[in-house]
């Protein structure tokens, strides 16, 4: 069976959708408005409500179903070769603060689960970062040294019993794998019991930074708040020019039953070989366990695309190492990466004390989101966090300038090159059923055209509604994606993922090619 015929969708989002919260139907005023209902937003709202603040959580779709609903759901302070990179880019003190903040997040998830009695399939397991090539063993030894110097109780292994070829590995015990939606829906329920307000299917479109701040929404209603927390993955309000310091990346995930008799990973595995391979398992009741494998990174809207070949490569890798494995689910996750490998958590820009942001988790949004919620709560309630300066979004360091310039140059290149005559345009006649392409319209504009299974065409403006870059078609996920900042749209132009806040413009035209 071809991979395109296999059932798709995240393993986590098939779980009970939970109660539906109403859209915003009247103007409201609260102490804190949290924008975005993923792990960072839900945890921040819950922490602030527990601290006695009146909080409203505003989500454009359904809570815990976006980026958080498509994660691999690892909560770990061991994050690939993060400590080697941070020590190199920010110094040893920064690595120590990073390790302390991430370890604190792991402990906090366990404590909150116990406090609320949450059944979220939480398991304490070791995390491993390994290499298959013996020539790279010293890279892992260096990471073990950097992580140990940062304060983590890691061990360096040259002989392992992992179910994958590993020439060397670094191990950190007592990390966490869990079901993210079960955990977050429990927090959301407790948040409401504490007097919090959850608003779903209401997209925030504007922000007035007065006192109080004022959010405008697609519902035509407003939210006023003394503080605003922006947890929309890629910030929808970019008043600190974060788009020059954030790179959106998507990553493929395949999952399926762990074959009987197959060696089960004794924890969570990660290698940066072959463009990253990440492995964990999850319980599936009396039916054994599910194997979840992540890898094959790509830029949203990039010319490499999320092709079916990427899913095939990842599944073949899983089959090579776990004999008899067949993927029954497939999806892709998206995250943003900062220029110095450290997230941005704190004030949105230098002139504000009331608008805060959490972004740039670099593939580690579970621990990062929990860390961010605790840091922002301290900031808003007048406390202090030992790692606030480490994550400060307005940090500007000469070391980061070349990477920021490179990101901006990439955006500028797309803004110009994708509009050149001949560029990427294709003939409508060449678009197969189920396919899409950017074509030149009769008056020279660029149209994003999709042909459905019946042959009918759907025409949209190809200009992303964020900053005007030209979207590209992702054939594996049947979506339009912006290569500049990662906004994603369905074939009808509806917004799936920001930083855009408006759908693609629909265009008139013949409905057949």
Q: Which of 115-124, 166-175, 302-311 has the lowest mean pLDDT?
A: 302-311
CB 447 within 8 A of CB 460: yes
Residue 447 has pLDDT above 70, yes or no: yes
pLDDT digits (tens, 9 = 90+) for 134-150: 889 999 999 999 999 99
246 within 8 A of 299, measured Cβ to Cβ: no
Which among 45, 58, 370, 378 is positioned nearest to 195, based on CA atoms?
45
Decide if domain 13-71+181-242+341-400 falls under CATH 3.50.50.60: yes
Among 152-156, 364-368, 419-423, 462-466, the range scoring the smallest mean pLDDT is 419-423
pLDDT at 6 over 70: no
Rounded distance between C-alpha atoms, residue 204 and residue 237, angstroms: 10
Cα angle for residues 67, 185, 31 (degrees, 5° grid): 85
Instruction: Render 246-286 in DSSP notation, one character per residue.
Output: EEEEEEEEEEEEPPTTPPPPSSEEEE-GGG-EEEEEEE-GG
Confidence check: pLDDT of 101 > 60:
yes
With H, G, I as helix, E, B as strand and everything else as coil, classify residue 119. Answer: coil
State yes or no: pLDDT of 422 exceeds 50. Answer: no
Which has the closest alpha carbon to 231: 393, 369, 31, 74? Answer: 369
How far apart CA 445 and CA 438 sit, in angstroms, is 10
Choose between 17 and 267: higher pLDDT. 267
Residue 191, pLDDT above cutoff 80: yes
Return the pLDDT at 406.
54
Q: Where does the pLDDT of residue 160 fall: very low under 50, low under 70, confident under 90, or very high at 90 and above? A: confident
Report whether pLDDT(404) > 70.
no
* Residue positions counted in the chain: 513
Q: Is 37 helix (H, G, I), strand (E, B) or coil?
A: coil
Integer Cα distance of 272 and 131 in angstroms: 7
Mean pLDDT of 103-126: 97
The answer to whether domain 74-178+245-338 has CATH 3.40.640.10 is no
Q: What percent of the chain has pLDDT above 90?
A: 64
Q: What does the pLDDT look like over 206-229, one tens digit per residue?
A: 999 999 999 999 989 999 999 999
Cα 147–chain centre separation: 24
**Cα 410 to Cα 415: distance, rounded to the nearest angstrom:** 9
For 171, the 3-state DSSP assignment is strand
Q: Lowest mean pLDDT: which of 1-15, 143-157, 256-270? A: 1-15
Q: Residue 275, by phi and psi: left (phi above 0), alpha (psi -120 to 50) or beta?
A: left
Average pLDDT over residues 355-361: 96
Tell me the C-alpha distance between 360 and 338, whole Å: 5
Is 428-497 CATH 2.102.10.10?
yes
List, for residues 36-94, the tens digit of each pLDDT value: 999 999 999 999 999 999 999 999 999 999 889 999 999 999 999 999 999 998 999 99
In the chain, where the domains are located: 13-71+181-242+341-400, 74-178+245-338, 428-497
Strand partners, 170: 129, 156
Tell me: pLDDT of 439 over 80. yes
What are the CA-CA distances from residue 295 to residues 310, 330, 453 (Å)? 9, 12, 30
């Amino acid at each position: 069976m071809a991979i395109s015929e296999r059932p798709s969708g995240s393993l986590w989002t098939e779980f009970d959708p939970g109660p539906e919260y109403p859209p915003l139907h009247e103007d409201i005023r609260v102490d804190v408005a949290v924008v975005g209902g993923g792990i960072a937003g839900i945890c921040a709202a819950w922490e602030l409500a527990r601290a006695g603040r009146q909080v409203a959580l505003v989500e454009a779709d359904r809570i815990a179903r976006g980026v958080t609903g498509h994660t691999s759901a690892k909560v770990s302070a061991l994050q690939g070769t993060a400590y080697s990179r941070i020590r190199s880019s920010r110094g040893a003190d920064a690595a120590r603060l990073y390790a302390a903040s991430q370890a604190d997040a792991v402990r906090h998830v366990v404590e909150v689960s116990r406090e609320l009695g949450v059944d979220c399939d939480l398991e304490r397991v070791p995390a491993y970062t390994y290499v298959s090539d013996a020539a790279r063993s010293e890279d892992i030894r260096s990471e073990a040294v950097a992580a140990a110097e940062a304060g983590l109780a890691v061990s360096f292994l040259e002989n392992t019993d992992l179910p994958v070829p590993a020439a060397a590995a670094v191990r950190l015990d007592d990390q966490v794998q869990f079901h993210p939606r079960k955990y977050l829906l429990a927090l959301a329920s407790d948040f409401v019991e504490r007097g919090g307000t959850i608003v779903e299917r209401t997209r925030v479109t504007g922000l007035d930074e007065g006192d109080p701040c004022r959010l405008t929404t697609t519902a035509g209603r407003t939210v006023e708040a003394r503080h605003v927390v922006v947890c929309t993955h890629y910030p929808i309000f970019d008043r600190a020019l974060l788009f020059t310091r954030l790179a959106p990346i998507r990553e493929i995930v395949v999952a399926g039953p762990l074959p009987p008799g197959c060696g089960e990973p004794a924890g969570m595995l990660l290698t940066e070989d072959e463009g990253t391979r990440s492995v964990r398992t999850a319980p599936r009741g009396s039916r054994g366990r599910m194997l979840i494998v992540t890898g094959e990174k790509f830029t949203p809207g990039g010319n490499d695309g999320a092709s079916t070949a990427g899913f095939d490569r990842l599944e073949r890798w899983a089959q090579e190492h776990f004999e008899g494995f067949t993927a029954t689910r497939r999806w892709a996750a998206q995250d943003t990466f900062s220029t110095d490998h450290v997230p941005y958590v704190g004030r949105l820009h230098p002139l504000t004390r009331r608008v805060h942001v959490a972004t740039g988790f670099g593939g580690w949004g579970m621990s990062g989101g929990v860390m961010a919620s605790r840091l922002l709560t301290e900031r808003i309630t007048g406390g202090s966090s030992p790692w606030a300066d480490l994550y400060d979004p307005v940090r500007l360091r000469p070391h980061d300038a070349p990477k920021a310039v490179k990101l901006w140059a990439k955006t500028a290149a797309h803004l110009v090159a994708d509009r050149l005559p001949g560029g990427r345009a294709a003939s409508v006649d060449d678009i197969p059923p189920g396919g899409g392409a950017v074509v030149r319209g009769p008056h020279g504009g660029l149209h994003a055209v999709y042909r459905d299974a019946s042959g009918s065409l759907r025409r949209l403006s190809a200009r992303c509604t964020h900053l005007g870059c030209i979207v590209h078609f992702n054939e594996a996920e049947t979506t339009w994606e912006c290569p500049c900042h990662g906004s994603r749209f369905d074939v009808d132009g509806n917004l799936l993922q920001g930083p855009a806040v408006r759908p693609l413009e629909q265009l008139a035209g013949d409905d057949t090619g």
